[in-house]
Structure 1
Amino acid sequence: FSHQRFVANSGLVVHPDYRNMGLARKIKRKIFDLSRKLFPHAKIFSITTGLAVMKMNTELGFKPVTFSELTDDEEFWKGCQGCRNFDILQRNNYKMCLCTGLLYDPAQKEVAASSFAKKVVKPIIKKKAPNKMYKK
C-alpha cells in the first residue's frame, strides 16, 4: 500500500478445529518473513482486536501505534467494511477504531540494532581485546 511503503499483515483467522497447535504463529512468522524479503524497506502493519494476534506481532517486533501512523491507502481500509466496528472507523475518519494498530518499522529496527552494537557489543569487544599495555 501507499506505493510499497506499507505492507499489511492482517486478517489471519484459524478454524477452531486447528487452534492451540501453534499454526497461527507459524503462518504469522512465514508471512512476516516473506513481507520482509519482498519489501525490505516497507513498514509492516496489522490491525486487530485479538490478544493472541497482538502478542504474536509484539514478539515479531511490532509496536502499538495510532492509526495516523498507518497507511492512508483507501484500498486497505475497504477491507474493513465487513467488520462490525466499521462505522466507528468511518466516524473517526479512519484515524481511530476499536482495533489496535501495530507497526513494524525496519528503519527503527536498524537504528536500534546500531545503538545496541554501539552500547553493548563494542564495550564487550574492548574488554575482551588484548590490552597493548601488557605486551612486551
Structure 2
Amino acid sequence: MEENDFVVIPATEKHTQYAQEICDEMAESAKARGTGIAKRSPEYVANKMLEGKAVIALRKDGHWAGFCYIETWDGSFVANSGLIVSPKYRKAGLAKAIKRRIFDLSRELYPGAKIFGLTTGLAVMKINSELGYEPVTYSELTKDENFWKGCQSCVNYDILTMKERKNCLCTAMLWDPEEKAKEIEAKMKEKEEIQKEKDEKLHEVARKQTLLERIEEKLRNSLKVMFA
C-alpha cells in the first residue's frame, strides 16, 4: 500500500474507539525496539483526541493505521509524541505523513513554541531533519519534571539518571521558531543583496550601452558632415 491509500487528519471524538489498540501497539513496538515510548493509558490518548491535539492516519475504509499526539511543557515547549504506525502499513510513507501533519498542527496551535523530540530511530531523525529540526543537547530541552518522568517507562531510564539527564541513547532534536525566523530573515536579506547586485550590474550594462550608442551616433553625424 502507498501513502495515497490513507488519509492523515486531526483525530476527533469518533476516533477514541481506537485508543486501546493504539496503546497496545505502542507497547509492543517499544518492546520490539528495546527502547520506550512514554507509556500512556487509553484514557490519556482518547483525551488527546478530544482536545484536538492528535493526528490519526486512516485507511480508506476508516480503520486506524497510524497515530501521534501533542504534549506541551513549560508553556514554551511542544513535543510530538507517541508516533506509531501499525505494522500492517509500514513502509508506505505514513510515518513521514503523520510527522508532517502533527508538526503543522503544533505550529497552528502553538506558533511561538519550540518543538522537540527524543528518538533512537534513524528514520524519525531523517524526517525531523527534513522538517527543519536540529540536533541539540538535552540542556536545551524543557526542564519540566513531568516530561522527564515520562521517561521512567523506558528500559534505558537508568542510563538517563546515571548521566544526570545530560544525555542518553535517544537523540534530542529541536525546531526553534525564533532561530528559523532568523534563518528566513538572513536568507531573504541574502536574496535581496544578490538581486541588488544583479540590478546594479544590469544598470551598469545599460549605462555602457547608452554611452556606446551616443558615441556611435556622434560618429555617424561626423561622417555625414565629412561626406556632405
The two structures share one fold, judged by TM-score above 0.5: yes
Conserved? CA contact 1:47–1:101, under 8 Å:
yes
TM-score normalized with structure 1 length: 0.89
- Percent identity reads 55
Q: In structure 1, the residue corresponding to 2:78 is in which secondary structure?
A: strand
Misfit runs of 4+, over 6 Å: none
Aligned to 2:104: 33
1:123 is the counterpart of 2:193 = yes
Aligned to 1:84: 155
Read off the aligned partner of 2:119 and give its amino acid letter: T
Matches within 5 A, 1:22-61: 22-61=93-132
Read off the aligned partner of 1:69 and give its amino acid letter: E
Q: Measure how far apart 1:70 and its partner are.
A: 0.5
Identify the structure with the greater strand proportion.
Answer: 2
TM-score normalized with structure 2 length: 0.55
Structure 2 residues not aligned, in runs of 5+ = 1-71, 211-228
RMSD of equivalent CA atoms: 2.0
Q: Deviations over 1:44-95 (max 9, x none)?
A: 0000000000000000000001101101111111221111111111222222
Q: Which of 12, 20, 38 is 2:83 aligned to? A: 12
Q: In structure 1, the residue corresponding to 2:151 is in which secondary structure?
A: coil
Read off the aligned partner of 1:77 and give its amino acid letter: W
CA distance in 1, matches of 2:176, 2:195: 29
Conserved? CA contact 1:10–1:45, under 8 Å:
no
Q: In structure 2, the residue corresponding to 1:131 is in which secondary structure?
A: helix
Conserved? CA contact 2:135–2:171, under 8 Å:
yes
Matches within 5 A, 1:88-99: 88-99=159-170
Q: Compare CA radii of gyration and give the structure with the larger one.
A: 2
CA distance in 1, matches of 2:167, 2:74: 23
Structure 1 residues not aligned, in runs of 5+ = none
CA distance in 1, matches of 2:199, 2:111: 34
